[in-house]
Structure 1
Amino acid sequence: MRLFVKHRSEYRFSEPQARLVQLLRLTPGNHAGQSIVSWRIDVDRDARLKPARDGYGNETTMLYIDGPLDRIAIEVSGEVLTEDRAGMVIGSTETLPPLYYLQSTPLTKADAALIDYVETLGLPAEPQPRAHALAEALADLFEPVAVHPATDQSAAARFAARAADPQGNAHVLIAAARTVGLPARYVAGHLYRPDESDGHAAHGWAEIWIDGYGWIGFDAFEGCCPRDEHVRVAIGLDHREAAPISGLRIGGGHEALAIDVHVGPEPAAQD
């Protein structure tokens, strides 16, 4: 599938900022099933952009801006060719061994309730059917909801609520997979939903390592393995480590963030 992506983030500050430093994980990589035709990053003011690669192998860009500034807009856009590989990730840049992804983080720590639930599932002994059975069980368990950005997205909180957006759903699946000895990680990306009129969505899902197969994606929120509607951008132990934008600012006051994402078979309409 040929997909066009446009991701625009606009920050507004209540007080002028002296300096802004941001780490951008907004550039997808090439692997079997995903080829980047074109990709660019635009900033609406003078900025220094330094491309790099982080410890997970993600393509990153460091953004440096000197103030004073009261707003900034960062826009990435590009064209991607995708192919349905039944969730299998082949040819991606891998810098860490699978065992690294068995460790928990505050967002992916399984509490006693989640551990007890997983034990009741009677999962198969073989890793591949075990991973699929776990993903299917969690897909049926949760009510899909949109949550406020300030909502606790930890696996324990989302499991207790039995309701999650893609980010929270992925955290629960990652935590559950690690409890049964399956290395798991978070994937930040985009999803084209052809049944929705606008087709706009930032998205997240999980990948689980299965001996003999490698990394396989599981989108428990959508109830499927990633298909050609998915665009894979960045990975990490959890969402925080794969977040599209993170960084710091030098200046007082507070900030407001507005995000607009377009994903679809046609380029986004020009403003």
Structure 2
Amino acid sequence: MKLIVRHQTIYSYATATGRVAMRLKLTPVDTPAQRVLDWQVLVNDDRLTGFRPNSYGEMEAIWVCHSPLTHAAIVAEGLVETQDRHGVMGHLNGRVDPRYFLRETRLTRPSEAIAAMARTLPTGGGPLAMLHALSAAVVDAVQYRAGVTTSDTSAADAFALGAGVCQDHAQIFIAAARTLGVPARYVSGYLLSGDGDTLHETHGWAEAWLPDLGWIGFDPSNRVCVTERYLRIASGLDADDAAPIRGSVTVAGDICIDADVRIAQAEEGMEQRQLQRQQQQSTPPIPGAG
């Protein structure tokens, strides 16, 4: 399947900024489940080319502007070919030992209730069956409900509340898996659901590590392992670590954030048109501002 994506985030500042610095994890990489055909990231209409591989084997860049700004418009867009591997991502590139993802963070520290849930999982079918059971147990215990948690809500708090969204489900899964000695991490990316052009926010899910299979993607919110409808962008110890955009700004007054993600299955011939567009760009890319 070929997915075409446009992800726009606009930061509007009530007063002109003194300095803006952003870490951007907005460029996907090739994996056994996806192949990047065309991709670009623009900041205020300038193409950003300063992306470099980090220790996870993923791409990130730092964008800094010292000039006064009233807004920062970030657009990531491109074309990626995906395939269904029944959730098995395999042994992805990266310099970090999988055991690193046994580390707790504030957002993924397990409560006793989460640990107790993990201890009740059946183990007779082996570790993979146990992880499937864990994914189902998370969404059985925590109803999907928008607006009751925030990006700062921890796995323990969402589990106690019994409601949350994809970020909460993924972080609870991660917290429980780590109590079982299974390395697990958060993944941010995009999900195509339904037919035709759709409007979405970014999506979040989890990956767990088994030595024989490598990384396996689980989406508890949708009760599935990841399929060709998922486009992987970045990973981390928790949702904050895997966030596509993180930054700091020197500004007085309010900051308004408007995000819009559009993802659709590409039509026939879209790949060639995307490559032609890329070749015809006359403006040379620049690494950033400031």
- TM normalised by structure 1 equals 0.92
- Kindly tell me: are residues 207 and 177 of structure 1, through their superposed partners in 2, closer, same or farther at Cα, counting changes over 3 Å? same
Deviation at 1:251, TM superposition (A): 2.5
Q: Is the 1:88–1:214 contact (alpha carbons within 8 Å) kept by the matching residues of 2? A: yes
Q: Is the 1:192–1:201 contact (alpha carbons within 8 Å) kept by the matching residues of 2? A: no
Q: Is the 1:49–1:63 contact (alpha carbons within 8 Å) kept by the matching residues of 2? A: no
Aligned to 1:244: 244
Deviation at 1:60, TM superposition (A): 0.7
Q: Map Cα deviations across residues 184-229 of structure 1 (whole Å, 9 max, x no partner).
A: 0000010000158725231010000112111101000110000000
Q: Is the 1:193–1:199 contact (alpha carbons within 8 Å) kept by the matching residues of 2? A: no
Aligned to 1:29: 29
Q: Distance in 2 between matches of 1:251 and 1:148?
A: 29
- Kindly tell me: are residues 195 and 45 of structure 1, through their superposed partners in 2, closer, same or farther at Cα, counting changes over 3 Å? closer
Determine whether 1:120 maps to 2:146. Answer: no
SS at match of 2:67: strand
User: What letter corresponds to residue 127 of structure 1 in structure 2?
Assistant: P
Give 1:68-79 correspondences, 5 Å limit: 68-79=68-79
Bigger shift: 201-210 or 37-46? 37-46
Determine whether 1:222 maps to 2:222. Answer: yes
- Kindly tell me: are residues 148 and 38 of structure 1, through their superposed partners in 2, closer, same or farther at Cα, counting changes over 3 Å? farther
Give 1:42-191 correspondences, 5 Å limit: 42-44=42-44, 50-90=50-90, 92-124=92-124, 126-147=126-147, 150=150, 152-191=152-191
SS at match of 1:235: strand
User: What letter corresponds to residue 219 of structure 1 in structure 2?
Assistant: D
Q: Is the 2:23–2:247 contact (alpha carbons within 8 Å) kept by the matching residues of 1? A: yes
User: What letter corresponds to residue 136 of structure 2 in structure 1?
Assistant: E
Higher strand share: 1
Q: Distance in 2 between matches of 1:211 and 1:27?
A: 27
- Kindly tell me: are residues 17 and 261 of structure 1, through their superposed partners in 2, closer, same or farther at Cα, counting changes over 3 Å? same
- TM normalised by structure 2 equals 0.86
Deviation at 1:49, TM superposition (A): 5.1
Q: Map Cα deviations across residues 32-62 of structure 1 (whole Å, 9 max, x no partner).
A: 1200010011122568752222232220121
SS at match of 1:158: helix
Q: Distance in 1 between matches of 2:165 and 2:106?
A: 18
SS at match of 1:157: helix
Aligned to 2:233: 233
Q: CA RMSD in A?
A: 2.0
Determine whether 1:260 maps to 2:260. Answer: yes
Q: Distance in 2 between matches of 1:76 and 1:21?
A: 17
Deviation at 1:91, TM superposition (A): 5.4
Deviation at 1:67, TM superposition (A): 2.0
User: What letter corresponds to residue 204 of structure 1 in structure 2?
Assistant: G
Q: Distance in 1 between matches of 2:227 and 2:151?
A: 28
Q: Is the 2:110–2:156 contact (alpha carbons within 8 Å) kept by the matching residues of 1? A: yes
